[in-house]
Structure 1
């Protein structure tokens, strides 16, 4: 089982703090180390999302003569100037025309606030129930139903074309930008250039910057309209540039893949195209809440172990209403809060949503929000709300104590990955505890004593 440690975070990219000023008003959890997440601190807000179906045309600025020398003269940071000169050569070698580069970099400035956000990573995390309280709040559910109704025709057409349930597309929209309300207003080229020059993951961000320049060169938008998060995610559903190039679509047929416009058509269709590309199965749930029997073997609660719903039923695993889970294909058991919280049987569509954001909490958030938008009820099981998430330092302490007790976590990085989960389960068995692999405060106290 992959244990959740929840702080905010994009799909596929850099640092615990990234994806956006806008995402500070939305919700994204910490991603697994392999995907490395992205964003700023979680803030719960009232999401009075406004549905804005009228497209705002791209504003084409009148071209003015611009030279590389003029670009450098406008930039105050000397090191940044040198980096731009070197990067220009690399960009041209990657197929960016001199005119496209100079147009994109005309107003580029080093943005110290971007670096501050990238490096200001909180050590605190959110529990799964705190995350879901915001991800599937009553306000977000109501706004999702309103969005579903307001854009019914286009969502039905998108569902028919890409085979992805419209409720899931709307749920992604809701978590990424509060249904388009908070898309971010940071100039993407400046942000990515700053991160490429002075960031901790320069190579990654430079690849995103090259992709952004290709988008501009293709004419999908202008540098002025290419805005989004301080970490480079863009539009209603927060595509990073490389994902945009690979999966964005022109659903409106106007010749541009405009995920920035007030009309969300291209953004929603691009999200559906993305999920469809990775194997979404229409009318099949992402997961189902289940109840585990007394004496359940918690060693079976692992994404690596899959069984048919009938096999799980034979072991006493039933849906929350006490019935066998219908046959949705092979499923595995997920315990995001350990043995004391809700349990889920998750299917292939869970893994598809993971391609958008690899954090289990995000997937559950999208899945549960989509269910609620579609009319389903809340999660039935209770959560251990008297508990709290461990801080980064406490997770490091837990790893040290586990290793000292003979249960090697293979490192002290504050991230509860597979090695740490295995070590936790080993200690829990030795201490007569339920071996659910969950890094609780109670477990830490047991280790201390």
Structure 2
């Protein structure tokens, strides 16, 4: 009987795979096409084991978000440099606010930092850069946003996976559908977790039985810390430091600016990392020209811009931040804000 059930389920999923070559893939997007696509999504969700009641309730108010499609298709090209980007992403008012909120939540942050072995200043920095300390979390219904982007078709497999993960979150009772708000891309809550990241890293920080990254500060902070810890964070070290290179430096020793994806980036890291003593011998110095720290730790050389831009020696924690967001600019922003939160700032 179980074998027959599995065969029927497989047949349904194959049929839905064929049907999912939606109107979006065949031609222009439309409200009618979206409505048809949602019917197929609901059938597929039920075939995946979600109850009909949950699926109907979750999709009851689903709408097609043209703005989400427009935003996904018109991501801005990178025309910044770190010298222009950092002052906008880490302005003085944000540093001041970060320090004030660090003090306000210090007891909770210290407790979570000790539990997960992550320095609280990095939690606050991520919080500040993801959602301006919880102020801008996005107003899109997550089911609607994910269904819209799956229907759009360019990254259908990815967004359908996120949609099924979002249904799992609803089924587990962590949040109601009406309150499950996020960005146009489906990133949720004060730490902007995609649904699959929520399932992997979100935790119940205060023991109330729910993982609420939208309103519960203990859950927000603990989930951030748990994420970093699970991807290899080491609280004995910082993220990296800006450095100066000698004349005629061999730039083949640095990680290439464009590696394509996370896997290739990690391979490049493994090929180029050296001990601080080795970088010191190659003429690399702190940004003020003094010697590198005498610490037994490996680092890779990162050039977010071109050879004339800023240069960083990145420690293993840098890799953890790149797992969060594979962006030199984002990681540099988190690092610099965290350094400013620590008083006095790290030299």
Q: Does residue 335 of structure 2 align to residue 367 of structure 1?
A: yes
TM-score, structure 1 length as denominator?
0.65
Query: 1:335: Cα distance to partner?
Result: 2.2
CA distance in 1, matches of 2:44, 2:37: 11
Matches for 1:144-155 after TM superposition, within 5 Å: 144-155=98-109
When the two chains are superposed, the root-mean-square deviation of aligned CA atoms in Å is: 1.7
Q: 1:126 to 1:257 in 2, by over 3 A?
A: same
The answer to whether the Cα contact below 8 Å between 1:219 and 1:256 also exists between their aligned partners in 2 is yes
CA distance in 2, matches of 1:342, 1:192: 37
CA displacement 1:285-311 (0-9 Å, x = unmatched):
111222222332222223431111111
Q: 1:170 to 1:109 in 2, by over 3 A?
A: same
Aligned match of 2:145: 191
CA distance in 2, matches of 1:276, 1:328: 21
Q: 1:274 to 1:127 in 2, by over 3 A?
A: same
Q: Does residue 124 of structure 2 align to residue 170 of structure 1?
A: yes
Q: Does residue 210 of structure 2 align to residue 243 of structure 1?
A: no
Give the SS at the match of 2:185: coil
Q: 1:167 to 1:87 in 2, by over 3 A?
A: same
Aligned match of 1:326: 294
Aligned match of 1:284: 237
CA distance in 2, matches of 1:192, 1:209: 6
Gaps of 5+ in 1: 1-75, 380-449
The answer to whether the Cα contact below 8 Å between 2:82 and 2:310 also exists between their aligned partners in 1 is no
Aligned match of 2:273: 306
CA distance in 1, matches of 2:217, 2:344: 25
CA distance in 2, matches of 1:193, 1:324: 50
Query: 1:166: Cα distance to partner?
Result: 0.6
Query: 1:345: Cα distance to partner?
Result: 1.0
Give the SS at the match of 1:289: strand
The answer to whether the Cα contact below 8 Å between 1:167 and 1:373 also exists between their aligned partners in 2 is yes
Q: Does residue 81 of structure 2 align to residue 127 of structure 1?
A: yes
TM-score, structure 2 length as denominator?
0.83
Query: 1:376: Cα distance to partner?
Result: 4.8
Give the SS at the match of 2:312: strand
CA distance in 1, matches of 2:127, 2:153: 28
Query: 1:100: Cα distance to partner?
Result: 0.8
Matches for 1:326-345 after TM superposition, within 5 Å: 326-327=294-295, 329-345=297-313
CA distance in 1, matches of 2:120, 2:148: 37
Q: 1:161 to 1:77 in 2, by over 3 A?
A: same
CA distance in 2, matches of 1:326, 1:236: 38
Gaps of 5+ in 2: 1-29, 256-268
CA displacement 1:120-152 (0-9 Å, x = unmatched):
233452222222112221111111111111110
Aligned match of 2:220: 267
CA distance in 1, matches of 2:245, 2:344: 21
Q: 1:357 to 1:273 in 2, by over 3 A?
A: same
CA distance in 2, matches of 1:196, 1:354: 25
Aligned match of 1:30: none
The answer to whether the Cα contact below 8 Å between 1:328 and 1:347 also exists between their aligned partners in 2 is no
Give the SS at the match of 1:288: strand
Matches for 1:5-404 after TM superposition, within 5 Å: 77-123=31-77, 125-261=79-215, 263-302=216-255, 303=269, 304-321=271-288, 322-327=290-295, 329-377=297-345
Counting helix residues as a fraction of each chain, which structure ranks higher? 2
Give the SS at the match of 1:225: coil
CA distance in 2, matches of 1:328, 1:189: 48
Aligned match of 1:45: none
